[in-house]
Amino acid sequence: MTGEDIAEVWQLLDRDHLREVVLRGPPPVFASVSGAHLYGFASPDSDVDLRGAFLLPVESVLGLNPPKETVTLDVHERYELDWVAHDLRKFSRLLTQHNGYVLEQLYSPLVVVSSPLFLELREVARGCITRPTVRHFRGFARGRRRRLVEPGASVKHLLYAYRVLLAGIHLMKTGEVCSSLSRLNDEYRLDVLDELMARKREGAEKMLLAPGEAEVHGRRLDSLEEELARAHAESRLPEEPTGVRELEELVIRARLGQAR
């Protein structure tokens, strides 16, 4: 996202309110905005997806009962908002499992809460960007494409399909996590996307596609799936994470520091 894109999102959202919601839960390592606001096509009625990581109290990790490693908080105040976060240990495990969702959350430029630990995690996690992460993008795209042939197919479903395919191609080619469709389109220049994003931003979350529209876009999505396969085949990203040891050291150090 450009600085202008980020500023536009913060004009739509009350960052102080988002921070206050995050602080209702355990001490956060970080919190960021994901979903349509990150992707660049939030409509006025889009809900807010807050994602991140926190540190469980030492007592809960050392006690007899398994700790609850994920917290979920649904808030219906200024807008529909959900805060979903994992304990740092679980979040780090997910990073080592070719998980595109947590990479997207970690590298979102829409940061609500930061910390020195978060900045360190961002650096260490670069070693978790791998070739098998393509499975996330391919699977997500196919799920969205299945929705496009069902009743009630929406502009949102179509944009999600384009976004995840372009993000996957970009990651395989460059090793960079980029989730903003507008920024991706600056590079890949698909003429249909600016108009689709404008329709979504100016319309509603569940705006339906016109009859026959999904079929027209299906051919373009087929081409992008083929390009994703080529980018994956040619990618020089590692097959397995290279930063696992550094991640484990970070988690242990963070927990010991909390204990002190």
Q: Where are the domains of the chain?
A: 3-127+240-259, 132-234
pLDDT at 176: 97
Closest CA to 231 of 219, 241, 223, 242: 223
On whether the 3-127+240-259 domain is CATH 3.30.460.10, my answer is: yes
Q: Is the pLDDT of residue 16 over 80?
A: yes
Q: Report yes or no on whether pTM surpasses 0.85.
A: yes
Q: Is the pLDDT of residue 260 over 70?
A: no
Comparison of pLDDT for 160 and 204, the residue scoring more: 160
Q: Is the pLDDT of residue 89 over 80?
A: yes
Element (H, E) at 172: helix 155-174
pLDDT at 47: 92
CA distances from 27 to 56, 68, 87, 190, 258 (A): 8, 14, 10, 42, 11
Q: Express each pLDDT in 34-60 by its tens digit.
A: 999 999 999 888 899 999 999 998 888
Q: Please identify which residue in the block is written with the tokens 């980029």.
A: 178
Closest CA to 32 of 102, 89, 106: 106
pLDDT at 259: 59
Q: Is the pLDDT of residue 256 over 90?
A: no
Q: Express each pLDDT in 96-143 by its tens digit.
A: 999 999 999 999 999 999 999 999 999 999 999 999 999 999 999 999
Q: Is the pLDDT of residue 91 over 90?
A: yes
Q: What is the CA angle 39-40-41, rounded to 5?
A: 105
Element (H, E) at 83: strand 80-87
